Amino acid sequence: MDAGRASPGFRAEEAGGLAYYAPGFAGGGGVRAAFSNRRGGWSRGPYSTLNLGLHVGDDPQAVLSNRASFCAALGLNHRDLVACAQVHGTAIAVVGPGDRGRGAFDPGGAVPGVDGLATDVPGVPLATFYGDCVPLFFFDPVRPAVALVHAGWRGTLGRIAARAVSLMREHFGASPERMLVGIGPSIGACCYTVGPEVAGMFAQQFGTAAEVRPHPGDGEGGRLDLALLNRRILEAAGVRSEQIDTAPWCTSCHPEEFFSHRASRGITGRMAAVMALE
Ligand SMILES: [Zn+2]
């Protein structure tokens, strides 16, 4: 784990009978931020049990019950969640009170065409969904504003994390130097092998650093450390290293705690990242 020194780091927590994970800055007041664990819900089969994704073939009633209990544990209302389409792009939308509930009951109603959401309005809970990709939580405590971003390999290659920093500066007057960022649980370099084409694109963009490892037995491909790549992108965008928390858990290594697209070979549930200004 490459966690910052001055940061208390990601921690596992429990509320309302549910386990979840929170970046260190979420304990300081002003903001709620959490990443779900798969245990404690009503879904069955490959979605067992706290599946929060409505778009993966699970029973919608079970998913909505799961969302209700996860949000209640965080002191939020699942009816207010603002979701986005998550198209593996690099666009981020600024949302406000009028967007409350978009995608809360119907994935078709989610904010289209974007992989991240940002707001400076308290009580507008942002939600993004994961089955191995990297959740990024952004918080400016001085001029309170938040952003929540989904970064898979395409989003990482497109530097969506840096786009979130720029967007928060432009729209909310946020400063990268005081920004706090959480990098949530995602697939680790232990499990994330990619083919030669993807490995080549990363090597071209980021060089052959430790974040893009050739690995014996992976043939022409390699292993990507998406969390570390996003940390490097954030640091290059001006976020202080000690203000970035990286969660230490690989989603593919811990099937009892996390849904993993890679580990399940496709059919599985989704965890949610949820974030709201208080
Ligand atoms: Zn792993």
171: domain CATH number is 3.60.140.10
Confidence of residue 5 (pLDDT cuts 50, 70, 90): very low
The answer to whether residue 224 sits within a structural domain is no
Q: Is position 95 within any domain?
A: yes
Q: Is the pLDDT of residue 145 over 70?
A: yes
With respect to residue 136, please indicate whether it lies within any of the assigned structural domains: yes
In a domain, 133, yes or no: yes
Short-list 147, 181, 170, CA closest to 9: 181
**Distance, CA 110 to ligand 1 centroid (Å)?**
30
pLDDT at 4 over 70: no
What's the CA-to-centroid distance between 22 and ligand 1, angstroms? 20
What separation in Å is there between the alpha carbon of 260 and the centre of ligand 1?
A: 10
Distance from residue 107's CA to the centre of ligand 1 (Å): 29
Per-residue pLDDT tens digits for 219-260: 778 899 999 999 999 999 999 999 999 999 999 999 999 999
Classify residue 5: in a domain, yes or no. no
Mean pLDDT to the nearest integer, 69-96: 98
Query: Residue 1: its pLDDT value, please?
Result: 35
Residue 218 lies in a domain: no
- pLDDT, residue 21, reads 97
What is the domain range of residue 139?
A: 11-186+245-277
Q: Is residue 72 assigned to a domain?
A: yes
* 228 within domain boundaries: no
User: 46 alpha carbon to ligand 1 midpoint, in Å?
Assistant: 19
Pick 196 or 174 by higher pLDDT: 174
Ion ligand 1 nearby residues (CB, 5 A)? 188, 190-191, 250, 252-253
- Give ∠ CA 106-79-52 in degrees, rounded to 5: 60
As for how many domains the chain has, the answer is 1
